[in-house]
Amino acid sequence: MSPAHFDWLQAADRHTELTDPVISVRQLARWDLRRKRHTHFDHCLVYATHEGDHVEFRPPRRPRATTRYSAVYEVDLGVHLVRDEVALPSSNDALEFQAEAEFRWQVADPVAFVRSGERDVPRLLRNELERRSRDLVRLHAVTDSAVAEAELLRSAAGWPQLGAAAGLTTSWTLRLRRNQQAIAHQIRLQAIGQEAEAKILGDVLGRDTDAAAEQREAALLRLQSEKVGLYEDYLEQGGIRASAWYLSRHPGAGQEVMANLREDQRQLVEKQLELVTKLFDSAEAETHELAEPRRHAVRALTEVLTQRFPGTSTDAGGSAADGPPTRDLPPGYGRTPVDPAEG
């Protein structure tokens, strides 16, 4: 049957988003002998009688004859989902809530829907939701969207179904939020707060980093100062103490330290002997002028002869110091010679 024989015909299949569940409307001739009907098997047929009544035939039921009917409506019985935006007023008329609603609807009473004359189901549901919720959400400020949404959903539990008067069975859910201007303003405030927080945190971390760097620098300066003092002590000590300090830092250099130590002692002895020899052999000064230097030279010679070198036994010095019994020594033995010039 061509579209010209229909008063209303939608090119709709099972996956088409419908706003009007009435797929087609056509008038019937009293003596229509054509048996073939171009209708979907899962659609409901609502026939209008000449007296103004309506009779429905749900699938798979179909009428045997149509002589008593004047028109037929093909109604889709599928379940449909639709999302829609609903603007709801707040306590401030200049600001509105932005509601995002999701509706699930189905034709439950095809005859009631045909009689209602509705053509746009989403608009019907949106208008009913707005009418029932307007007085409730107007009590709340636009910034109290969460409180208004919770109260609206709690109150809606006692409402009759949306679209029930038009023969629909429906369910719905809703998310209430501020309008776009309020959301954009809140996003700007959040960005400003985050930038300020980041700057404050950066300043705090920067100060902590600078303080840590200063502490590290001060610690390095103290360590260098300690090293300087340590090396000063090392250089000032000299001799055996310096060698012992070096050996404590480098335990594997024992042979090298001992060799250097012996060389230092040998050089010291040679210098002292050279000094003593020069003093005793000097003939340029008067005898009374050389008395004191000679006394010091003799003392230095005695210290050299009695000095203990590393590796020598402590008994050797004691043995050298020991002499014949005092009773066998001549008078004045062991005392430092006195220069005749001193008188």
Residues 152-172 pLDDT 10s:
999 998 999 999 999 999 999
Task: Find the angle CA(167)-CA(169)-CA(174) to the nearest 5 degrees.
Answer: 130
Strands (E), the chain: 8-9, 22-27, 44-49, 54-57, 69-75, 80-89, 96-107, 168-178
Considering the domain architecture, whether residues 68 and 134 belong to the same structural domain is answered as no
pLDDT (tens digit, 9 = 90+) per residue, 175-224?
Answer: 988 777 777 877 888 889 888 888 888 888 888 888 888 888 888 888 87
CB 136 within 8 A of CB 152: yes
Domain boundary among 42, 75, 108: 75
Bridge partner residues of 83 (DSSP)? 102
Write the DSSP assignment of 150-166 as a string of letters: HHHHHHHTTSPPTTGGG
Considering the domain architecture, whether residues 106 and 86 belong to the same structural domain is answered as yes
Q: Tokens 């379940």 label which residue?
A: 79
Considering the domain architecture, whether residues 41 and 116 belong to the same structural domain is answered as no
Considering the domain architecture, whether residues 69 and 123 belong to the same structural domain is answered as no
Task: Find the angle CA(153)-CA(174)-CA(160) to the nearest 5 degrees.
Answer: 55
Domain that holds residue 130: 80-178
Considering the domain architecture, whether residues 89 and 64 belong to the same structural domain is answered as no
pLDDT (tens digit, 9 = 90+) per residue, 17-58?
Answer: 899 999 999 988 876 655 455 577 889 999 999 898 999 999
- Distance (Å, whole) CA 80 – CA 73: 19
- Distance (Å, whole) CA 58 – CA 338: 152
CB 83 within 8 A of CB 19: no
Choose the most confident range, by mean pLDDT, from 9-13, 137-141, 332-336.
137-141
